[in-house]
Chains A and B, each alone.
Chain A
Amino acid sequence: MARVLIIEDDRVTADEIGAELQRYGLDTEWCGDGTSGLERARGGDYDAITLDRMLPGMDGLTLVTRLREFGVQTPVLMISALSDADERVRGLRAGGDDYLTKPFNPEEMAARIEVLLRRNTHRPMKLRVEDLELDLMDRQARRDGEVLDLLPTEFKLLEFLMRHTGRVLTRTMIFEAVWGYHFDPGTNVIEVHIGRLRRKLDPPGREQLIHTVRGVGYVLERR
């Protein structure tokens, strides 16, 4: 079972993070300040870490920098009340792997941790879910052997969904991964793009692979 270290000074937030991650079958441990957080992160052999940006003892940025200096490559999800684009860049430069702004949706947090946990596994050049196949070499998608006519954005969207098959991906995560921007794209941008991909992927009569998780996001899997 994967173990996640939660470094967060607010007990209530830490409990929420823990409860949500446990729901996904992850083992969690909590640590309330920066100095001991660094010690535990160095020695604990965790699979992922959620790290608050503002901490007593040592702030999150210093902590992740030091952690990387020690050669520890555990994926880190930074959680911060500071959502400034520069803050995000600073967090990621210091060695964080992903950045989430408070207030966060617990499902989104869990989804991001799941993505981080799977990041270490090798990246195949061919992705496959049931009869859906994505060839990243010749940039082609096939369903049941039939080539799908996808636009570049749709291809990127499908790749992101297929790389995280079975994981719920939030709209923000999709927007960040496919378009590379960190803002709220408004109303129903992702919904419309998913809808178009869905029409090409799951024509009537075929088993549907992209599912909507109400209030959270989307998941690609066979149900």
Chain B
Amino acid sequence: MNVASLSRISTVRLLLVYGVLFVLWSVLLIGWVQYDTMRYLSGVVDEILRQRAHYLTHIDRARLPDAVAQTAALDLRGVMAYGLFDAQGRKISGNLAEPPADVPSDGVVRFLPGGMHMEGSSEPIRARGVAVKMNTGEVLVLARATSVIDAVRTIIHRSLVWGLSLTLIPGLIGGIWLARGPLRRIRELENAAQPIRRGDLHRRLPVSARRDELDMLASIVNSMLEEIERLMSEVKGVCDSIAHDLRTPLTRLRTQLHRMHREAGADSAHGPLVEQAIMDVDALLDRFRALLRISELEDMHRRAGFTNVDLVATLDHVREIYAPLAEDKHIAFAFEIGPEIAPVHGDPHLLLEAMSNIVDNAIKFTPSNGRIQIRLGNDVHTAGAPAGVRIDVIDSGPGIRTSERGAVLQRFYRGTCSSKDVSGSGLGLSIVAAIVKLHGFRLEIVDNPAGGAWLALLCRRE
């Protein structure tokens, strides 16, 4: 389970959005509480400072140094500091070591940027303070450490962090745990959808007894599949019955033409015409036969006839059948058989039919003095283990354009490169495609830098 796939689960997403909103709201709330508390505490401190300053500035000048020293001595917690300094900043009395820097002597309480320096302490202490200029030119300074305010701030911050972590961490763990279920279900659905994607429309997605939203979705997809399957079989049924229904009248037509030809004689005026008509009807019947053959292959679901097929032997037969054709066209017909070819599970007759169609096509489209290469070898996967067997048929014909590659495997498609003198129903590769699909193998049209067509039959289960 990786982060990317987790973040796509709606439960996790919802949780994340809620998490972010919760953090924002908590920060805002605690921020306001902190601001208000700080303001209040600063106000209290400022009031104390103002009162003490008021008192000290209104007592007799002669008593002032003693009063300052006594007041300082009264503060046992060490949070208050007092200092009376002459015009040159020299200390006259109090527990402040020096006047605070950069603070105007205007009687206004403010935060001391440089802190306060108490006697006996080397480090400045964060503090608020006030400086008052006396009539005598001396300066009275009062300061109070903000340690209480700071401690309250820390408490507020800590409570925010603890609060957030105690809510967010269990929330996230819970979210991941909740998301595992749907993820597992989706994986199940994905596995169930694999054969459907490959065209096995009889399969359905699993629906559990929970009837949750995934089940609802699976049910919708299942009913769609049912409809698609029904429509497909209807279309196929129409195609098949047209082919079926036309076969009988065509057969009769052929018989009658044949009879006419026989009775009139080949030398009669209509002889050649009738002969041509018979040939045309034969071509039509061939097409129907091929169409119905594809239909049969597409209907085959059983694999009862499957056995271990030795493809070396299959290719030997192909060579025996087709080598004379290649030779007649002066085409170099080269076979490269790799070592230790594992047998594949399939129907030997159908695989030979598929190979025959591929090779027949190659011979048809390769011009005289061309070259056809047929390679048989183990198909090595990335892991290095043989994943199956592959057969490559490479010719030096016009090749198959990238834009036509999907279409050549469909019924009746003939490439734009096919010339008029190339006979055929345009169904050869469709038959191959149907056989390949029945076996669960794959037929690939490979890019051939040399230009000709390159077909690869990958004999391994998808």
Chain A residues engaging chain B, CB cutoff 8 angstroms: 10, 12-13, 16, 19-20, 81, 83-86, 101-107, 153, 179, 181-189, 192-193, 195-196, 214-215
- The segment from B83-91, B227-235, B283-291 found at the interface with A is B283-291
Interchain CB contact (< 8 A) of B248 among A85, A103, A105, A184: A103
Name the residue among B250, B288, B353, B428 with the largest chain A CB count within 10 angstroms: B353
Q: Which residues does chain A contribute within 8 Å of B352, judged by CB atoms? A: 181
- The segment from B132-140, B292-300, B337-345 found at the interface with A is B292-300
Interchain CB contact (< 8 A) of A105 among B254, B317, B424: B254
Interface string of B346-375 (1 = CB under 8 A from A): 010110110011001001100000000000
> Is B167 in the interface zone, CB < 8 Å from A?
no
Name the residue among A10, A81, A189 with the largest chain B CB count within 10 angstroms: A189
Apart from A186-B360, A186-B428, A189-B321, 8 more pairs, CB < 8 Å: A16-B255, A84-B296, A85-B305, A105-B285, A181-B353, A186-B424, A192-B324, A215-B278
Task: For residue A58, give the distance in angstroms from its CB to the closest CB of chain B.
Answer: 23
Task: For residue B462, give the distance in angstroms from its CB to the closest CB of chain A.
Answer: 24
Q: Which residues does chain B contribute within 8 Å of A16, judged by CB atoms? A: 251-252, 255
> Is B423 in the interface zone, CB < 8 Å from A?
yes
State the total of A-B contacts with C-beta under 8 angstroms.
89
Task: For residue B432, give the distance in angstroms from its CB to the closest CB of chain A.
Answer: 12
Q: Which residues does chain A contribute within 8 Å of B36, judged by CB atoms? A: none
Chain B residues engaging chain A, CB cutoff 8 angstroms: 244, 247-248, 250-252, 254-255, 258-259, 275, 278-279, 282, 285-286, 288-290, 292-293, 296, 300, 304-305, 317, 320-322, 324-325, 328, 347, 349-350, 352-353, 356-357, 360, 363-364, 423-424, 428
Q: Which residues does chain B contribute within 8 Å of A182, judged by CB atoms? A: 349
Task: For residue B260, give the distance in angstroms from its CB to the closest CB of chain A.
Answer: 13
For the complex, give the distance between the alpha carbons of A110 and B427 in Å. 28
Q: Which residues does chain B contribute within 8 Å of A184, judged by CB atoms? A: 286, 289-290, 293
Closest 6 CB pairs of A and B: A103-B251, A186-B360, A103-B247, A183-B353, A192-B324, A192-B325
Task: For residue A157, give the distance in angstroms from its CB to the closest CB of chain B.
Answer: 11
Task: For residue B285, give the distance in angstroms from its CB to the closest CB of chain A.
Answer: 6
Q: Which chain B residue shows the least CB distance to A86? A: B305
Interchain CB contact (< 8 A) of B325 among A12, A103, A188, A214: A188
Task: For residue B111, give the distance in angstroms from its CB to the closest CB of chain A.
Answer: 97
Task: For residue A13, give the distance in angstroms from its CB to the closest CB of chain B.
Answer: 7
For the complex, give the distance between the alpha carbons of A193 and B247 in Å. 30
B286 near A104 with CB under 8 A, answer no
Interchain CB contact (< 8 A) of B252 among A12, A84, A153: A12
**Given A181-B353, A182-B349, A215-B278, A102 and B251 touching (CB < 8 A)?**
yes
B360 near A215 with CB under 8 A, answer no
For the complex, give the distance between the alpha carbons of A186 and B365 in Å. 13
Q: Which residues does chain A contribute within 8 Å of B424, judged by CB atoms? A: 186-187
Subset of 6 A-B contacts with CB under 8 Å? A13-B248, A102-B248, A105-B254, A106-B258, A184-B290, A185-B360
Q: Which residues does chain A contribute within 8 Å of B293, judged by CB atoms? A: 83, 183-184
Name the residue among A10, A85, A182 with the largest chain B CB count within 10 angstroms: A85
A185 near B279 with CB under 8 A, answer no
Task: For residue B268, give the distance in angstroms from its CB to the closest CB of chain A.
Answer: 15
For the complex, give the distance between the alpha carbons of A81 and B350 in Å. 19
Interchain CB contact (< 8 A) of B328 among A103, A185, A192: A192
Task: For residue B275, give the distance in angstroms from its CB to the closest CB of chain A.
Answer: 7
**Given A103-B285, A183-B353, A185-B356, A84 and B300 touching (CB < 8 A)?**
yes
**Given A13-B248, A85-B305, A106 and B356 touching (CB < 8 A)?**
no
Q: Which chain B residue shows the least CB distance to A101? A: B289
A214 near B275 with CB under 8 A, answer yes
Task: For residue A141, give the distance in angstroms from its CB to the closest CB of chain B.
Answer: 18
For the complex, give the distance between the alpha carbons of A153 and B259 in Å. 35
Q: Which residues does chain B contribute within 8 Å of A188, judged by CB atoms? A: 325
For the complex, give the distance between the alpha carbons of A196 and B282 in Å. 25
For the complex, give the distance between the alpha carbons of A204 and B428 in Å. 37
Task: For residue B15, give the distance in angstroms from its CB to the closest CB of chain A.
Answer: 57
Task: For residue B163, give the distance in angstroms from its CB to the closest CB of chain A.
Answer: 74
Name the residue among A19, A104, A107, A215 with the largest chain B CB count within 10 angstroms: A215
For the complex, give the distance between the alpha carbons of A175 and B278 in Å. 22
B423 near A187 with CB under 8 A, answer yes
B324 near A196 with CB under 8 A, answer yes
For the complex, give the distance between the alpha carbons of A182 and B259 in Å. 28
For the complex, give the distance between the alpha carbons of A189 and B326 in Å. 10
For the complex, give the distance between the alpha carbons of A134 and B373 in Å. 36
Task: For residue A119, give the distance in angstroms from its CB to the closest CB of chain B.
Answer: 24
For the complex, give the distance between the alpha carbons of A83 and B295 in Å. 11
**Given A103-B285, A188-B325, A215-B278, A20 and B255 touching (CB < 8 A)?**
yes
For the complex, give the distance between the alpha carbons of A28 and B360 in Å. 40
For the complex, give the distance between the alpha carbons of A82 and B373 in Å. 36
